[in-house]
Structure 1
Amino acid sequence: MTRPLATKTVVEAVTDDLRGRILSGSLTSETAVTELEIATSYSVARPTAKAAIEKLVGENLLVRGTHKSARVAELGPESVRDIYLARAYLESEILRRLAATHTVPEEAVRANADILALAGAGDLALVEPDMRFHTALVDAVGNERIARMYRSLVSEVRLCMTRVQALHLLDSAAIHAEHELILVQLAAGDAEGAAATLDGHLAAARERLAEALGT
């Protein structure tokens, strides 16, 4: 039996490309994101450009005031702390549930191996496997609504992670070691240990990034 392949709409394609430019740091808050510019650069209709911008505003990657062009969201210290606090609440409970059944997601193991393999490849290269590690933990619970809740944070989390790595605040060895400890604690059924390691792991990124952005 053949399986149908998912196809992207033009709006989705434009949105995905714009999102990639934002998360890679090639599109910054210094550049206004207008419907005319998007329509021209992607050779699409203005309504398509508008829909793509609105999607990214909904993801909090773009911000737009009344009668103003959209721009990439600026992350201040309090925004960073708020995003990471939401992550910590959700992911800590995820780890407690995984530890109760000694569950170690294979995708998380692979993602952490990829982080180690990327040592020296550049800080921004670490963002994708790092987010894949954390998303794999969330997905392992098997709850669709929890997964949707987490993904509602993912774009902002990735923007934070991009800024963390762009500022050279963390390194692959430290990330890998902390992830590895979490996996060991899950296998051992150490729920509180895994949650505590995660809290420290996220707090380090949170405070270093908040401090850097504050200055």
Structure 2
Amino acid sequence: MHPIAPPVTLPEQVAEQLRTRIAAGEFPIGSLLPGETELARQLQVSRNSVREALRSLVHAGLLGARAGYGTFVRATNDVAPTLARRLGQERDADVAEVRMLLEREGARLAALRRTPEQVDRLRHALAARTALIGRPGYDDADVAFHQALLDASGNALLAELYRGVGGNERALEALRDHVETGEGGEPAATDIDEAHGPIVEAVAAGDPDAAVSAAERMVRLINDRLGVATAAREGDR
């Protein structure tokens, strides 16, 4: 006899419905989900069921939760969260090399495929990121910039894999711990910050070679700051 599968609970049903809506694109990466009360009304369930479903999706890595902000979408499926957990066991140098490949290819494809709207989004994301250097909100602005770049590649799987290797979260460690100051003690842009601009200009100009070169320089600077030695291994290509 085959074992009888346990019944699916209401929170599990709610979680599956939300997975389906996220995968269908109703809630894009980075977007906020409706509040618990609104979701309970939409799905005709209790707030407790919604709360348990959201908690399970946060644990799975599809959603993120931030106090005072809300619950937001981190991934559209289980690929990125699963890969992120797997890569958490890998050497930093290996992860850095994979990130280099994804960042470089993302910039190249963005230069070939970007739309005028995506270029505008990139420029605005860069401006917002620059304005918040050394200030609250910088991490989110940096995430938004890289998300805009990978979205401009036109390859959803590439963007998902990029998030799966930690996206630019490791880079943020380097930037957060090495904030430089200018005149008057105000936060100043680092060489890593300044390396983002040439990527945008190369993408806007439709120059894939320049985009690749700019992306490589940015990632190398980040790896140097993190103390991750990948240059010699990349030279073996």
Bucket of the pairwise TM-score, normalised by the shorter protein = 0.5 to 0.7
Q: Which runs of 5+ in 1 are unaligned?
A: 22-54, 64-72
1:130 pairs with one of 142, 156, 165: 142
Q: Which residue of 2 aligns with 1:28?
A: none
* Paired residues of 1:80 and 1:209 also in contact (CA < 8 A): no
**How many residue pairs align between the two structures?**
162
**Structure 1 Cα separation of the partners of residues 215 and 168 of structure 2:** 17
Q: Which residue of 2 aligns with 1:70?
A: none
* Paired residues of 1:116 and 1:172 also in contact (CA < 8 A): yes
Question: 1:148 is aligned with what amino acid?
Answer: E
Which has more radius of gyration? 2
* Paired residues of 2:132 and 2:141 also in contact (CA < 8 A): no
Correspondence 1:86-125 to 2 at 5 A: 86-101=98-113, 103=115, 104-121=118-135, 125=137
| Structure with greater helix percent | 1
CA offset digits 1:42-88 (Å, max 9, x no partner):
xxxxxxxxxxxxx998454699xxxxxxxxx69xxx83332222122
* Paired residues of 2:111 and 2:208 also in contact (CA < 8 A): yes
Larger RCO: 1 or 2 (CA < 8 Å, sep 6+) = 1
CA offset digits 1:132-163 (Å, max 9, x no partner):
2112111123333223222212xx34541342
Shift, 1:166, TM fit: 3.7
Q: Which residue of 1 aligns with 2:217?
A: 200
Residue range with higher mean Cα deviation, 128-137 or 167-176: 167-176
Q: Which residue of 2 aligns with 1:160?
A: 170
Shift, 1:202, TM fit: 0.6
CA offset digits 1:150-191 (Å, max 9, x no partner):
2212xx345413421342167635344322211111222221
Q: Which residue of 1 aligns with 2:205?
A: 188
Tell me the percent identity.
Answer: 26
Q: Which residue of 1 aligns with 2:97?
A: 85
Question: 1:92 is aligned with what amino acid?
Answer: R
Give SS of 2:195's match: helix
CA RMSD of aligned residues (A): 3.9
**Structure 1 Cα separation of the partners of residues 85 and 60 of structure 2:** 11
Give SS of 2:135's match: coil
* Paired residues of 1:100 and 1:191 also in contact (CA < 8 A): yes
* Paired residues of 2:107 and 2:153 also in contact (CA < 8 A): no
